[in-house]
Copies of this chain bind each other. A is one copy, B any other.
Amino acid sequence: MINVGIVGATGYGGVELVRLLLARDDVNLCKLSSVSFEGKKISEIYPMLYGICDDVLDTQDKVVDACDVVFAALPHGLSQTLAKECIEKGKIFIDLGADFRLEDEETYKKWYGCSFEDKALQDSAIYGLCELNRDKLRGARLIANPGCYPTSIALGLFPALKNKFCSTKGIIIDSKSGATGAGRGLTQTTHFTELNEGFAAYKVGSHRHTPEIEQTLSKMAGEDIAVTFVPHLLPINRGIESTIYADMNPEYTLLQIHDAYVDFYKNEKFVTVMPLGTAANVRNVRMTNQCQISLHEDKHTGRLIISSVIDNMVKGAAGQAIQNMNLALGLPEDRGLPILAPAF
């Protein structure tokens, strides 16, 4: 049995971890913490857990003491100290936040306003995009779980960048996310009556995921990549769709590129390249750890258009974190991770 704990269990990332981990018979979900609801049962906050998980929410310290694997789903900036403590105590630490995602401290400072507290610790963190860093993640102790937008985008572009199917210049990414991406905290923007029947871009050209996207794409391409990234908020609960525009390499046909994508991902359990002529839809990956990708071409302008969809709370957060745990512990990578979305 793996003794697992969650710090920040009542946030959306946290409770999604609870849901997925409760389905495991090899995991002992032994301690949950929450600053806001300490002392309450988690089923008081989330009544679907009533009678299934009525654990009392405890402190962060208790989680660290009780568990061998610690997931942290905390506001940005709060994971660095906790990670250090966990690593020193021999725990595996998987951070769902952004504190260990960026390699460059200046970039981190610029976008998040914090410094690296421990440069060596930062250097030891593995960026948990399994499809990119699988080998390093096996046996890893400190894992930075990727952001939701970056996951959808990086998986959509990986084979194209690797094989130079498109130019690395001028990539434009238009992403749309369901409302769980904004978390459990109440805002006017996510008040039902103000999101329902609405749609808008937000943080245009200034979303914090931009440097993470560029860092990952640059690694994939082997050269520096700058992108234009614009997120939008969808009036649905779950799902990210990223439509990616890139100048297509005229040496290849769409069919060749599609074949190469299928081949590239043929051993990946959680990436599916959809048949040509269909378009990826967020509803087909809901509640699953899958990324589905569809490929398109605008012939008259010579553009490759990639649509990549994930469930932002599973492959974009809790599911990928568990995939990382499985890798870190040497377990089958897909254990406990759903791949089949409900049809409705």
Contact = CB atoms under 8 A, between A and B. Distances in A.
A194 B241 CA distance: 16
A172 B49 CA distance: 30
A296 interface: yes
Nearest to A202: B279
Interface in A177-225: 178-180, 184, 186-188, 190-202, 204-205
A91 interface: no
A272 B50 contact: yes
Interface size of A as a range: 35 or more
A232 B228 contact: no
Given A193-B180, A198-B281, A343-B48, A232 B226 contact: no
A72 interface: no
A62 interface: no
A309 B232 CA distance: 13
A283 B241 contact: no
Interface string A49-90: 111110000000000000000000000000000000000000
Instruction: From A174, A200, A278, name the one whose CB has the most chain B CB atoms within 10 angstroms.
Output: A200
Contacts of A174: 174, 243, 245
A192 B201 contact: no
Contact of A196 (B237, B239, B300): B237
A205 B46 contact: no
A176 B199 CA distance: 9
Interface of A: 12, 15-16, 19, 22-23, 46-53, 170, 172, 174, 176, 178-180, 184, 186-188, 190-202, 204-205, 226-230, 232, 234-239, 241, 243, 245, 272, 274-275, 278-287, 292, 294, 296-301, 303, 305, 307, 309, 313, 339-344
